[in-house]
Structure 1
Amino acid sequence: MRDLNFSPKAFLFDLNGTMIDDMEYHTLAWYGIMTEDLGADLDYASVKKEMYGKNHEVLERVFGKDKFSPEEIERLSVDKEKRYQAGYLPHLSLIAGLDNFLERSKAAKIPMAIGSAAIPFNIDFVVDGLNIRHYLEAIVSADDVQLSKPDPETFLNAAAALGVAPADCLVFEDAPKGVESALNAGMQCLVLTTTHTLKEFDGYPNILGYINDYNDTKLNLLF
C-alpha cells in the first residue's frame, strides 16, 4: 500500500462490486429493460458505462430527464431489481476472503459500515442472504441520501453513524465514482479490481492500493 503509516479506525464498504461481484447482473438487468422493453439502441458496453447512482439517475442519463413519469420510473426500477435478484441469486457469495476479513476486523474492534447507492431491497437481499448483518454497525443506502456518489454524502453519513472522523475511515470501492466520493469526503480508499480497469482510476490521490480480493496480503498492514 502507498501509505503504510495509515491506521484506519473504521472500514466503509461499497456493496456491489466491492463486497459481492455482481455488477454484471445489474448491467444485464438494465440492458434487457433498455433494449428489449424500451427499444433503446444500446450495446452492452454503453449500458455498463452508466452503472452508478440511483435507478432514476441511470434512466435520466440514458433517456433524458423528462422521458418517464415518477410512476414509470418506480415500475421500471422494481422490474430491474427483480430481474437482478433472480439472475444473481444462484451466484450470491462474498468476494473471496471477505468472510475472514470481516471476522478479523470485528475481532480487532474496527467498526464497519456499508455506504452504497443500492436501495434497501437489494442491500437486505445481500446482507441477510449472506448473514453478515452482525458485522455491520451502520448501513447507508440510496434512500438515506439526497445526492449520489461522487457526492461525499454517502460516506460522510456512514462515518457519522459510526462516530468516526472521515480522515480515520478507509473506504473499499470498485468504481471511479465511488473513489471520487471518498476523495470528496476526505477519505483514503482501497480499490477492488472487479469492475473497472486500473487505467480508469488514474488521477485519484486517495487510492492506497489495489486488490483483486480480500485474500491479498496487503490487508495485513491494516491491523
Structure 2
Amino acid sequence: MTASLKNRLHSLLTHCKAAILDFDGLLADSEPFHYRAYNEVFERYGHTLDKEEYWVEWTSKGKGIAGEIERHNLKLDVDPVDLRKQKFEVYSRFCQSGEIKLFPLARTMAEALSVKHKLAIASGSWARDIRYILENASSLNLFPVILGKESATKEKPHPDIFINAAEKLGHAPSECFVLEDALKGLHAAREAGMPCIILRNSLNRDINFAGAELIFESL
C-alpha cells in the first residue's frame, strides 16, 4: 500500500464511526452459488446462463432476471416472480448446507474494523441466508445489524438499504463508509452520501469504479 493510499484510508477511518459492508463477493464467496442457483432454475425452462455475462450484467450491474430476459429476448413459460422464488429456494439450500464459506481474511478484517467502528451488513440477499452463512463460520456475533433484501423497497443501486443501515447503527450517512465489490453498490453508496471503498476480486477486475473513495486490489 502506498503512503498516499494509507493516509487516505487513515483519514476515512478516523472520520467515520461506522462501516457498512456488502456480503456476497465481499465477505462470503457466495457469488458462484448465486449463479448456480439462477442457472439451475433457468435450465428448467430451457435457458442456460452465460457465466461471464452473469458476472458483469447480474453481479456488478444488478440487471437481474429482467435484464436476462430482455438481452436474450426470452419467452419463458414461467412468471419472473415465480422464477425468482424458485431461485431463492435453491440458494437458501446452499446457505444452510455449509457449502458457502467466508473468504479467508473476511473475519480478520471485520474484527479489525469492529474495534473502533460499528458494523452492519447491507446486502441484496435475504437476511436469514446471510445469518446461515455467518453462523456456519462462527462469525454472526461480529455484525449487530444485518439488513437483507427484505429491508428496502428498492434494491441497489438505489441507496435505501445503506440509509436504513445507517439509521439502525444510530449514525448519519456522512458518518458511515461502505465496503463494496459491485458497481451497483458504489452507485448506491454515493447516492446515500457515503464514501465507498471498493475491493477488487477475480470477478470485477475489468469494471470501472470511477467515483470510489479508495480501491484495493484484494482483501
Q: TM-score, normalised by structure 1?
A: 0.79
Shift in Å, 1:42: 4.1
Compute the RMSD of aligned alpha carbons: 2.8
- State the Cα deviation string for residues 58-112 of structure 1 (Å, max 9, x = none): 22222369964477246423343146437x833x33223222222233333x100
1:89 aligns with 98
Q: 1:169 to 1:195 in 2, by over 3 A?
A: farther
Give the aligned partner of residue 58 of structure 1: 64
Q: Counterparts of 1:130-145 in structure 2 under 5 Å?
A: 130-145=137-152
Q: Measure, in 2, the Cα distance between the counterparts of 1:198 and 1:73.
A: 30
Q: Partners in 2 of 1:119 and 1:152 — Cα distance?
A: 17
Does 2:165 align with 1:158?
Answer: yes
Q: Among the aligned pairs, what percent are the same residue? A: 23
Matched, 1:98 2:106: yes
For the residue of structure 2 that corresponds to 1:172, the secondary structure is: strand
| Offset at residue 170 of structure 1 (A) | 1.5
1:90-129 superposed matches below 5 A: 90=99, 92-108=100-116, 110-129=117-136
Task: Give the counterpart letter for 1:10 in structure 2.
Answer: A
- Give the alignment partner of residue 183 of structure 2, picking from 176, 187, 200: 176
CA–CA separation in structure 2 for the residues paired with 1:23 and 1:74:
16
Unaligned runs of 5+ in 1: 214-223
C-alpha separation in 2, matches of 1:23 and 1:71: 21
What one-letter code is carried by the residue in structure 2 that aligns with 1:160?
A: E
What amino acid sits opposite 1:16 in the alignment?
A: D
Structure 1 residues 66, 122: CA separation in 2 closer, same or farther (over 3 Å shift)?
Answer: farther
- Does residue 88 of structure 2 align to residue 78 of structure 1? yes
TM-score by length of 2: 0.80
CA distance in 1, matches of 2:18, 2:114: 10
Candidates 27, 34, 40, aligned match of 1:19: 27
Amino acid at match of 1:61: G
